[in-house]
Structure 1
């Protein structure tokens, strides 16, 4: 329809997890907006569980999605997603944005395990994940990106991950892949021809006193202790299934 300017969809989902005082975790805030729906699922013990459910395709070009989660002292929260997120080209010009903000208080725990993000041909997505943790907070956070659907070239994907404990930065890194990304992203020093890349960061207070040793987990995967109570697992693989297997085995190995 001529003369219509499409600016993209804006949507924000919010989760607040709180100690219910009875050995469990309450969810006083569980708000989905537009294409992002939230569903509480059956938890385990003191842990509450939430599933992210995409109500429509996206993010598309020009969209701005955000997910905010706050875990208060004494609460335990696990968040997953019902399916992979697919970044697609859209009618609106410009890149899409997907922002994740995580706030984990002292004595709280968050396990953040979404499904893969797939960068489809022609898409342009900037993903930012920022986690702010208290001194005794515990975090498991997994990110997995797949460059292109089967048999197609990837879109452009830029991903930034930043984690801070008590205001001190443990990790702040960015990876750009696909058409228009800085040269060398597909070379041997970065992805080496692989099409699936992932990270797993685990923050536990006990790692401060007993750091995890650095090691190689076979071809394309490493475990690196960070300057704080945390460890980073980085991996590349030929496909999403192999990537998930490597990250799952690494997490199991951390106990």
Structure 2
């Protein structure tokens, strides 16, 4: 038995294939992180992250790296929700995502929900570094506990940098031991699903997004750069996804 937890890093790199499409010269799975190429659309390559084992469990250190080169288009999703579970190893699990997109590249990072299971402890960090002229659609969704279950401890940090400038750096801690007020009216208000949608487009330089509410539970804010942030809270994963999908539709096609 590995009492130190699992260490694994999965990597994908997308490059133009010279024929108007996208190739994947690097597609490396590791441990419980399995990357599978699926059928893409047009010039876009598509990859699914498949959980080959349960986790992340206590003590695990998991990481995913995605790199999109100039002129490439990549869409990354996951086959199912990720469950943060308690494990035999004491201590928090860590899940680290690092995304890089070059000028002229485009990345859609659209995993399924992360579910914080009772008794688990997880720190998830997502960092996106973009060159000026890069495009990004990034969706994160966290669900606090399964149906009728109290959540574990979940800390989520999201950082976005464009041309070396930090345009977003936010952190949310929820569950047992988290700073007081996370479940109060100023944060989640008793709801159990929270999500973010970050959209980066060069076109936002000339036509920045206007800050506004998007119905009950969601709002859009312009970021200092060609980017926009949608935040949403909901009672459950299904309604959270509907809010974020509705917000995404407001931005129109990615080519705009």
Alignment TM-score > 0.5, same fold: yes
TM superposition outliers: structure 1 runs of 4+ over 6 Å:
none
Give the Cα separation in 1 of the matches to 2:215 and 2:124. Answer: 28
After TM superposition, give the deviation of residue 219 of structure 1 in Å: 1.5
Matched, 1:33 2:53: no
Query: Does residue 179 in structure 1 map to residue 179 in structure 2?
Result: no
2:76 to 75, 79, 82: 79
- Residue 103 of structure 1, CA deviation: 0.4
Provide, for residues 182-201 of structure 1, a one-character-per-residue CA deviation record: whole Å limited to 9, x for no partner. Answer: 00000000000000000000
Query: Is 2:206 aligned against 1:247?
Result: no
**Matches of 1:129 and 1:221, distance apart in 2:** 21
Q: Secondary structure at the match of 1:43?
A: coil
TM-score, length-scaled by structure 1: 0.98
* Alignment-derived partner of residue 95 in structure 1: 92
Are 1:154 and 2:151 an aligned pair? Answer: yes
- SS in structure 2 opposite 1:189? coil
The secondary structure found in structure 1 opposite 2:40 is strand
Q: Residues of 2 paired with 1:161 and 1:183: CA distance?
A: 20
Q: How far 1:22 moved relative to its partner?
A: 0.5
The answer to whether 1:128 aligns with 2:131 is no
The residue number in structure 1 matching 2:41 is 44
Distance 1:111 1:92 in 2: 34
- Between stretches 4-13 and 239-248, larger displacement belongs to 4-13
Alpha-carbon distance between aligned partners in 1 of 2:152 and 2:42, rounded to the nearest angstrom = 41
Superposition deviation, residue 220 in structure 1: 1.5
Q: Deviations over 1:101-128 (max 9, x none)?
A: 0000000000000000000000000000
Aligned pair partner of 1:62 in 50, 59, 63: 59
Q: Which runs of 5+ in 2 are unaligned?
A: none
Ranges in structure 1 where 5+ consecutive residues have no aligned partner: none
Report how many aligned residue pairs link the two structures.
Answer: 252
CA distance in 1: counterparts of 2:214 and 2:202, whole angstroms: 24
TM-score (normalizing by structure 2): 0.97
